[in-house]
């Protein structure tokens, strides 16, 4: 029994030393400043919701467009419309849909599908803050 215990301790120690050596010298993690265009579709959509929320706070349409341009979209208003309609068709969170609809309306891309969700406007949020 003592031989088994000693063998186990030696094996764990060798594994720990080998793991630390490989992790720190052979293959360390390299952090790279990745562009926003490399985000997954889901995370790009979540970022768009955050920009829409910011639009509701400051009411700055041009600022929202500039924040969304980092995603590499050539037609930002069309992109916002597509994300909004995707959120509506997938029955995503109602608050997120309303934020996206407000941004889409601010960009002049309010469609009939979005109209039932058009309740939030930048001025109403600023007045309550």
Q: Based on the domain organization, do 14 and 71 belong to the same domain?
A: no
Is the same domain home to 3 and 54? no
The count of other CB atoms within 10 Å of the CB of residue 53 is 18
Q: Would you place residue 45 in the very low, low, confident or very high pLDDT band (cuts 50, 70, 90)? A: very high
Clarify whether residues 12 and 67 are in a common domain: no
Over the stretch 61-72, which tens digit does the pLDDT of each residue have? 999 999 999 999
Question: Which residues constitute the domain of residue 1?
Answer: 1-31
Angle, helices 94-106 vs 76-89, to 10°: value is: 150
Pair 75, 114 in one domain: yes
- pLDDT at site 103: 95
Taking the C-alpha atoms of residue 31 and residue 52, their distance in angstroms, rounded to an integer, is 29
Q: Mark whether 47 and 27 lie in a shared domain.
A: no
State the Cα–Cα distance between residues 71 and 22, nearest whole angstrom. 35
Looking at the structure of the chain, the number of domains it has is 2
Q: What is the tens place of the pLDDT at every residue in 66-125?
A: 999 999 999 999 999 999 999 999 999 999 999 999 999 999 999 999 999 988 777 554
**Which tokens in the block code for residue 32?**
């790279």
Together in a domain, 61 and 110: yes
Query: What distance in Å separates the CA atoms of residue 107 and residue 39, rounded to the nearest whole number?
Result: 23
Q: Quick one: pLDDT at residue 120?
A: 76
Distances (CA, A) of 15 to 10, 12, 19: 9, 5, 6
70 and 117 housed in the same domain = yes
Asked whether residue 54 falls in the same domain as residue 7, the answer is no
Shared-domain flag, residues 75 and 123: yes
Say whether both 27 and 51 belong to one domain: no
């Amino acid at each position: 029994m003592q031989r088994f215990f000693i063998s186990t301790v030696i094996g764990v120690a060798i594994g720990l030393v080998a793991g630390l050596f490989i992790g720190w010298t052979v293959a360390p993690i390299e952090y790279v400043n990745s562009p926003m265009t490399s985000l997954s579709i889901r995370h790009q959509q979540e970022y768009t919701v955050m920009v829409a929320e910011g639009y509701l706070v400051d009411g700055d349409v041009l600022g929202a467009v500039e924040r969304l341009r980092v995603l590499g979209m050539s037609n930002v208003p069309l992109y916002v419309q597509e994300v909004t309609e995707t959120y509506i068709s997938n029955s995503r969170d109602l608050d997120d849909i309303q934020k996206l609809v407000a941004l889409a309306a601010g960009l002049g891309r309010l469609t009939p599908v979005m109209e039932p969700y058009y309740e939030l406007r930048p001025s109403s949020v600023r007045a309550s803050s």
